[in-house]
Amino acid sequence: MQRQALVDIIAGDPVLMRFLRGMRELGLPDPLLGSGAIYNTVWNVLTGRPRHLGIKDADLVYFDPADRSYDAEDRVIRRAQAHFANSPIPVEVRNQARVHLWFPEKFGMDYPELTCSADMLRYFSTKSHAIAARLEDGEIAIYAPFGLDDLFSFRLASNPLLPNRVTHENKARRAMALWPELQFEPWS
């Protein structure tokens, strides 16, 4: 039921659907639309707020291990930004095949080398944020390794797989300022 509700929310949002179709039009390998563009939209719909309230950007990810260079990723970033130039939500594009190369320097901790885009979801600091979607054979496919209960229960539960306590707390603080219905669960 939750999965169908999520599919219906995404399908009913022209901006999110444009991202899903656009990832295919750009020919991104193993593409996913994830993070705030999805969970913020759900919370907005369920609470009757404007659909895109609080969405900083749309995370468009892909997985291309053939070229893990910054230059290759930057070319894709520029193509995607041009493709979605008129979008009311800015895009942030990342090649998940290269995250392990820059993550330690930026965040001060190791990050595993991934084997596909969906692997990234297992390492999100907050379980309700670990949700992504894409079009598969014309249908919206949902990826949610921790399920959808936290999302639909307005629960911010931590995922201790990486020591991301600060990220979990900072994201929760920001989210709770916009959606006071959220229930924060401290780092476990």
Contacts of 149 (CB under 8 A, 6+ apart): 2, 155
* Distance from C-alpha of 188 to C-alpha of 38, rounded to nearest angstrom: 25
Each residue of 131-142: b (16+ CB within 10 Å) or e? bbbbeeeeebeb
**Residue range 24-44: average pLDDT?**
96
**Residue range 6-23: average pLDDT?**
98
* Distance from C-alpha of 179 to C-alpha of 43, rounded to nearest angstrom: 8
Do the Cβ atoms of 23 and 55 come closer than 8 Å?
no
Question: Which residue has 């979801």 as its token pair?
Answer: 121
Q: How does pLDDT run across 132-183, given as a tens digit for each residue? A: 999 999 999 999 999 999 999 999 999 988 888 888 899 999 999 999 999 9
Categorize the per-residue pLDDT at 123 as very low, low, confident or very high, splitting at 50, 70 and 90: very high
